[in-house]
Chain A
């Protein structure tokens, strides 16, 4: 249907919605991915690999619960190691989802519509992976509730002045609000799935989850208010979460951590890595499920621009770290910087600069921003770079702090790597399941976008309304794309 109504001014692939779409066509096309399209080979292979890695994660968790955290590479003086590196990395990735769904909504950036749903799913799954690390790092995760204020026989309270306690509240609030935001966005689409699912059990499950949504005008009115309020609430929240994460470091006295630039630089870094991950996921998704009409080149280009901006902020952060190490005239700070660049971990720092600061500069050129394979490769480079950034911050700072007698080198152990790749497996396994059971793009919002696009093109309204009538009885399979 897309080709039947060409609109010359937007036919160059730079629209946020390919021309010719109707309420029915966006509904059919998006719901078909989960409801009717057959399982693809690529999906099955991908899921099997991700599932196997998830099993590896479970094995690691079991081993660590049985043996203790000594299985990880953490040794004095580097007691934070991979657990905290990966925690910060995953939390950061999650931030793009909230940014897309909340901040871009408040700024009325229409292009967010087709990417917000799976970006929010990405947030949830990333936060789930992130949460595992501090839990396992505790050593005795069954006592995690000690972090919460509850009446206990020891009459003890959490240390309210510690950023680590703030982090517990920040991350758990973030996980809860992300889940609520995602679910509220899903309710109308779950109703669509309820009305369209052919399988009886699927219909029941979607029906229960949709909670009887019927699209009443009054319901929509409150729904919209709720959605905007959630966006307004989530925007400062997302900034606060990574600020608090950065304070875990900045409130300490370790050279390389004790810096006032950390909060803004961590938030920018989080957005940077998050958008890189959105690109890593969106590019294959749009190709495999034929979503080029919805996730257009315009989307990819906009995300590339955000990558460039946040990449430059992160570069500025690195520059400031080096500048203040020199300007402080503090021996330890100056040594920290010299040690990062030329010490035993120099290669991680060099790679970090190469991945995060140098590679992203190609995005100054429009040709690079619209070259899909290049964006995909770059997004992976940035993911690696942002992981290295956390590694450099956590490990190089701790390994050589004040007293040379206490220095020691750190390397991730076998179990560190199985846990890391295991969480990547969990993340992708959850995403693969999500693609098959829920709408990857918000259908209700796409209908709104169709309506707005029509309004903008004025006379097109009736021309587009008629195909709707014809495809009433269109079988789902026919549009599974």
Chain B
């Protein structure tokens, strides 16, 4: 139990290949670190699993969004054509459901698509222009050709000295840097 959080966000090791960062993340996880994240310029297969991320709730949300769209569409059409404004056209049924399918389908798609995008952003905590990792000068290469593994200071096993030594010995990182927490909004990725 820490009484006072350390003044840094974590320690970050920089790698030049995807395999190296996956291996490093796997080793760090095996060594007992849990509060960590990896950063890569493209989605690396197995990297999220390596840092212990397994539960993805997005598909469930999308199912709910799609169903909500379908139910909304069908309910509105059912309500308007049978209750609110029924019109008898040559004795045809008010609830002519086959004709309601196209719009029900379109709104299912719309509901699911909106949930996919908003859900992905929401679960990821985006938009969030400020983040401590942007304080590391070389981090701008995370969107080009560098891979990073960051062990956060809120991990119970975190220790500024030993974790640094651990990272330095972890698959020959190009560098290991301290990630400062910043007050005052420097860390937007827009600075430097």
Q: Which A residues are closer than 8 A to B by beta carbons?
A: 22-24, 27-28, 149, 155-157, 160-161, 163, 165-166, 169-170, 173, 176-177, 180-181, 183-184, 188, 191-192, 194-196, 203-204, 207-208, 210-226, 229-230, 233-234, 236-237, 240, 244, 247, 444-445, 447-448, 451, 461, 465, 468-469, 472
Contacts and interface: CB of A to CB of B under 8 A. Distances in A.
Interface of B: 16-19, 25, 37-44, 47-48, 50-51, 53, 56, 58-59, 62, 66, 76-77, 80-81, 84-85, 96, 99-100, 102-103, 105-107, 109-110, 112-114, 116-117, 119-121, 123-124, 126-131, 133-134, 139-145, 188-190
Contacts of B41: 23, 27, 188, 192, 215, 444, 447
A169 B144 contact: no
Given A156-B85, A173-B107, A223-B120, A212 B128 contact: yes
Given A191-B143, A224-B43, A233-B112, 9 more contacts: A27-B41, A163-B102, A177-B109, A177-B110, A211-B128, A211-B129, A217-B48, A229-B112, A465-B16
A206 B162 CA distance: 38
B137 to A, nearest CB: 11
A405 B168 CA distance: 90
B53 A218 contact: yes
Nearest to A211: B127
B59 A225 contact: yes
B129 A212 contact: yes
Contacts of B85: 155-157
A184 B115 CA distance: 13
B43 A448 contact: yes
9 contacts: A169-B106, A177-B110, A191-B143, A211-B129, A212-B126, A215-B143, A229-B58, A447-B41, A472-B141
Contacts of A212: 126-131, 188-189
Contact of A22 (B43, B102, B114, B145): B145
Given A156-B85, A222-B56, A233-B112, A169 B107 contact: yes
Nearest to B39: A215
B103 A221 contact: no
A461 B16 CA distance: 11
A89 B127 CA distance: 37
Contact of B84 (A157, A161, A223): A157
B17 A465 contact: yes
Contacts of A224: 43
A160 B34 CA distance: 54
B190 A204 contact: yes
Consensus secondary structure, chain A interface? helix
B123 A222 contact: yes
A220 B121 contact: no
Contacts of A203: 190
Nearest to B53: A218
Contact of A188 (B76, B77, B105, B143): B143
A195 B59 contact: no
Closest 5 CB pairs of A and B: A211-B127, A23-B145, A226-B120, A221-B48, A195-B140
Contacts of B133: 214
B106 A207 contact: no
B106 A217 contact: no
Contacts of A163: 102
Contacts of A468: 16, 145
B106 A166 contact: yes
A24 B128 contact: no
Given A160-B80, A225-B120, A226-B120, A236 B37 contact: no
B45 to A, nearest CB: 9
Contacts of B112: 229, 233
B124 A219 contact: yes
A165 B103 contact: yes
A169 B102 contact: yes
Given A176-B113, A465-B16, A195 B37 contact: no
Contact of A161 (B66, B96, B128): B96
B52 to A, nearest CB: 10
B116 A207 contact: no
Contacts of B53: 217-218, 221
A220 B22 CA distance: 14
Contact of B39 (A183, A214, A222, A225): A214
Nearest to A225: B58
Given A27-B145, A211-B126, A448 B105 contact: no
A62 B83 CA distance: 42
B22 to A, nearest CB: 9
Given A207-B129, A225-B56, A217 B107 contact: no
A222 B106 contact: no
Nearest to A471: B145
B42 A444 contact: yes
A468 B124 CA distance: 29
B3 to A, nearest CB: 29
